[in-house]
Homo-oligomer: A and B are copies of this chain.
Amino acid sequence: MAVLALDLGGTKLASALFDEGGRILKRDAVPLEGKGGGDVGLLIQSVVRRFRGDGRHIDAVGLSVPGIARSTTGTVWAPNIPGWDDYPVIDDIRRIVPDTPVVMDSDRACCMLGELWLGKARSCTDAVYLAVGTGIGAGILCGGKILRGAHDIAGSIGWMALDRPFRDPYGETGCFEYYASGEGIARLTRECLEEDEGYAGQLRRVSESELTAHHVFTAYEDGDPLAERVIAECIQYWGMAVANLVSLFNPEKIIFGGGVFGPALRFLSAIGDEARRWAQPISMAKVRLEASELHGNAAIHGAGFLALKSVSHDNAS
């Protein structure tokens, strides 16, 4: 058996052919080069066609998408791909492989499924994949199934309300994402730079428009006080979010991934300490906070698992 996994991101389309044991038989990646609408559909079709042309039978196709995967219509809302408000991507793929099951889910759900298949959540029934990168999202496994919600929008954890009172800029991204995403870390640092006129450290020498979370992590390594302040604040938000996941979902594990975790993994034990202050104590004592080991490959593994499950008898999730 072989399944084709596609991981559509905001800037590239990664693809991999998996056997049922999770071995990657072949993989590829192509840049989107700013394409939108039907052009992205054509790109996906060309990749599927190429894999099919290899002569190897493809038993199913799984797709991870960067947005809302509408399970009833097979369409996608992807904010970073122009023209993908309700794009019928499943139809596009079916035109190339008409007799093959085609399944999809959101990238956060796929990351969770990837961890369930071959990562840190193997044998878990209840777990959360917390993805902190440019934005923040969560793939949530409850009783062995991915939490979808009534309209496939569950897990929008970037919108979590964590600090009163409401401030208008939260309306763009959500409170948690506003502060504790990669973008949020840079934003918070710019705010601190503006306020703290006396600060003359290394972050002052980075041009405002180029400042990223990675500058802040490097400065933190060097003992920079402004970076330390920003990180301390983020640890509070990450800890509160972890606490809320623990109190609501009582998961066995929370798995940290995305570009920020990454470098912020060194704060995992501090995040646990902060979470312990807030969370339901019995539930908190039992959860484990862990780093993804699939790194950037969690979503494509999840897409592969999704495809595999669509043709196997064990539809666990």
Stretch at the interface among A16-24, A40-48, A239-247, A303-311: A239-247
Q: Is the CB of A250 within 8 A of B151?
A: yes
| Distance A127 CA – B124 CA, assembled complex (angstroms) | 24
Residues 132-175 of A, flagged 1 when their CB comes within 8 A of B and 0 if not, give 00000010101101011111111111111111111000110011
Stretch at the interface among A57-65, A88-96, A275-283: A275-283
Residue of B nearest to A128 (CB): B248
A residues bordering B, Cβ < 8 Å? Answer: 68, 124-126, 138, 140, 142-143, 145, 147-166, 170-171, 174-175, 236-237, 240, 243-244, 247-252, 274, 277-280, 282-283, 286
Residue of B nearest to A167 (CB): B277
Q: Is the CB of A174 within 8 A of B286?
A: no
Q: In whole Å, how far is A201's beta carbon from the nearest beta carbon of chain B? A: 25
Q: Is the CB of A170 within 8 A of B283?
A: no
| Distance A202 CA – B168 CA, assembled complex (angstroms) | 36
- How many copies of the polypeptide does the oligomer hold? 2
**Given contacts A175-B278, A277-B171, are A148 and B152 in contact (CB under 8 A)?**
no
Q: Is the CB of B250 within 8 A of A161?
A: no
The 4 lowest CB-CB distance pairs between A and B, nearest first, are A149-B250, A156-B280, A159-B247, A161-B240
Q: Is the CB of B126 within 8 A of A149?
A: yes
Residue of B nearest to A240 (CB): B161
**Given contacts A162-B164, A236-B164, are A156 and B278 in contact (CB under 8 A)?**
no
What are 12 A-B contacts with C-beta separation under 8 Å? Answer: A138-B248, A142-B147, A149-B251, A150-B286, A153-B250, A158-B247, A159-B243, A161-B162, A161-B243, A166-B278, A170-B277, A175-B278
**Given contacts A170-B278, A278-B175, are A251 and B161 in contact (CB under 8 A)?**
no
Q: In whole Å, how far is A153's beta carbon from the nearest beta carbon of chain B? A: 4
Q: In whole Å, how far is A274's beta carbon from the nearest beta carbon of chain B? A: 8
Q: In whole Å, how far is A278's beta carbon from the nearest beta carbon of chain B? A: 4
Q: In whole Å, how far is A159's beta carbon from the nearest beta carbon of chain B? A: 4
| Distance A250 CA – B150 CA, assembled complex (angstroms) | 6
